[in-house]
């Protein structure tokens, strides 16, 4: 029978069958999926085939995994060519960001967006703690909202503590499977508690932001939304890495650059100092945000040359 994986704790998986019944499942034998070497063959969001093992104890054996629509991974600490799959079959990824207490940098947001593009997962940016924003932060929010909307992303403003903007956020989450990420302290757990009232995750107190050793376990877990859809929480995951990206392809992951690349004089243009560059021209003309272009240059600089 078919089931959906809600949680993985290493060797055991929590899965739910089509009638809504939960099981503890495990793997027997070895799976090879796609061509990637993965340290965890089954991940949250996977659709698996399973056989009952013990009816009384609700245990089952996973015997197969359906092809993934997409997945998010990160490089395993065990080595460069080993990947750890965090979640599969996502409809969107949601970045929780804040302009105050703490401040999320634009560079961090742009790296997140590049990663989402690489994984072919639409991204949603949720600015939380709106109740703390004064004119300065509201101006910044409006500016950033325009920049990201122009690049094709959805942006919203919420306050988990006061509930403002939450109805709009719920509409964006409805009937979708959404991976939640963002820095520690931005209010991910608080927001999950607002949209999943039955959940009551522990939130961190303010002094906990710089707390070392917090959230050392990083098992992703999926929750059903009461209004349809699912959220995947990834405690401890600060960002998904830009695994296997090359300098040449980076501009393809900036949507506002992607559709202008044919305009560059050289087809291997990196959009730095080359003559006849359509990207730099678009920045000069104000069609591409200067901040986004700076992020592009910064990320480009951080990518090692691909060695073949
Ligand atoms: N003022 C304000 N504080 C918030 C808001 N959302 C969360 N917080 C606080 O920010 C801190 C971190 O929240 P938490 O949900 O644990 O963040 P997480 O680390 O991303 O899961 C807690 O003290 C929350 O009470 C908000 O909308 N406004
Ligand atoms: Mg949390
Ligand atoms: Zn160019």
Query: Which atom of ligand 1 is the closest one to the Cα of 204?
Result: 16
Which residue's alpha carbon is nearest to atom 13 within ligand 1? 187
In the reported structure, the alpha carbon of residue 226 is separated from the centroid of ligand 2 by a whole-number distance in angstroms of: 20
Residue 229's Cβ-side half-sphere holds a number of Cα atoms within 13 Å equal to 19
Which residue's alpha carbon is nearest to atom 26 within ligand 1? 129
pLDDT tens, per residue, the chain with 308 residues: 999 999 988 789 999 999 999 999 998 766 655 555 566 789 999 999 999 998 888 999 999 999 999 998 876 666 666 677 889 999 999 999 999 999 999 999 999 999 999 999 999 999 999 999 999 999 999 999 999 999 999 999 999 999 999 999 999 999 999 999 999 999 999 999 999 988 777 776 544 444 444 444 567 899 999 999 999 998 766 666 666 788 999 999 999 999 999 999 999 999 999 999 999 999 999 999 999 999 999 999 988 754 44
Please state the pTM of the whole predicted model. 0.90
Which residue's alpha carbon is nearest to atom 28 within ligand 1? 129
Residue 42 in contact with residue 31, Cβ under 8 Å? yes
Pocket of ligand 1 (CB under 6 A): 128-129, 131-132, 159-161, 182, 184-190, 203-206
Give pLDDT, residue 171: 98
CA distance 4 to 77: 27
* Burial zone of 203 (CB within 10 Å; 0-12 exposed, 13-18 middle, 19+ buried): middle
Kind of pairing, strands 123-128 and 154-157?
parallel
The ligand whose atoms approach the alpha carbon of 162 most closely is 1
In the reported structure, the alpha carbon of residue 110 is separated from the centroid of ligand 3 by a whole-number distance in angstroms of: 19
Which residue's alpha carbon is nearest to atom 9 within ligand 1? 187
Query: What protein residues have CB closer than 5 angstroms to ion ligand 3?
Result: 264, 269, 271, 277, 279
In the reported structure, the alpha carbon of residue 289 is separated from the centroid of ligand 3 by a whole-number distance in angstroms of: 15
Query: Which atom of ligand 1 is the closest one to the Cα of 190?
Result: 15
Give pLDDT, residue 18: 94
Give pLDDT, residue 152: 94
Give pLDDT, residue 39: 64
In the reported structure, the alpha carbon of residue 22 is separated from the centroid of ligand 2 by a whole-number distance in angstroms of: 25
In the reported structure, the alpha carbon of residue 283 is separated from the centroid of ligand 2 by a whole-number distance in angstroms of: 37
Residues 28-64 as b/e (b if ≥16 CB within 10 A, e otherwise) read: eeeeebeeeebebbbbbbbbbebeeeeeeeeebbbee
CA distance 64 to 83: 20
Give pLDDT, residue 28: 79
The ligand whose atoms approach the alpha carbon of 238 most closely is 1
């Amino acid at each position: 029978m078919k089931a959906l994986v809600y949680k993985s704790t290493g060797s055991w998986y929590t899965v739910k069958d089509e009638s809504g019944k939960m099981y503890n499942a495990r793997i027997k034998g070895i799976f090879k999926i796609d061509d990637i070497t993965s340290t965890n063959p089954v991940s949250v969001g996977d659709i698996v085939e399973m056989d009952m093992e013990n009816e009384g104890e609700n245990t089952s054996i996973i015997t197969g995994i359906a092809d993934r629509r997409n997945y998010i991974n990160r490089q395993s600490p065990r080595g460069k060519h080993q990947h750890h799959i965090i979640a599969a079959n996502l409809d969107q990824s949601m970045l929780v960001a804040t302009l105050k207490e703490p401040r999320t940098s634009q560079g961090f947001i742009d790296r997140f967006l590049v990663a989402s593009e690489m994984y072919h997962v639409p991204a949603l940016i949720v600015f939380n703690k709106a109740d703390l924003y004064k004119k300065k932060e509201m101006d910044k929010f409006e500016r950033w909202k325009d920049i990201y909307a122009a690049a094709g992303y959805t942006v919203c403003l919420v306050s988990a503590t006061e509930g403002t903007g939450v109805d709009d956020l719920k509409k964006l989450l409805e009937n979708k499977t959404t991976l939640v990420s963002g820095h520690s302290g931005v209010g991910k757990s608080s927001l999950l508690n607002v949209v999943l009232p039955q959940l009551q995750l522990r939130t961190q107190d303010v002094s906990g932001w710089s707390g070392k050793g917090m959230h050392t376990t990083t098992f992703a877990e999926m929750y059903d939304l009461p209004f349809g859809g699912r959220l995947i929480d990834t405690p401890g995951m600060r960002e998904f890495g830009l695994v296997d990206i090359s300098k040449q392809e980076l501009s393809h992951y900036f949507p506002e650059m992607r559709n202008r690349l044919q305009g560059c004089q050289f087809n291997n243009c990196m959009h730095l100092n080359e003559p006849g560059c359509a990207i730099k021209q678009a920045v000069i003309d104000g069609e591409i945000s200067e901040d986004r272009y700076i992020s592009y240059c910064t990320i480009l600089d951080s990518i090692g040359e691909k060695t073949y």
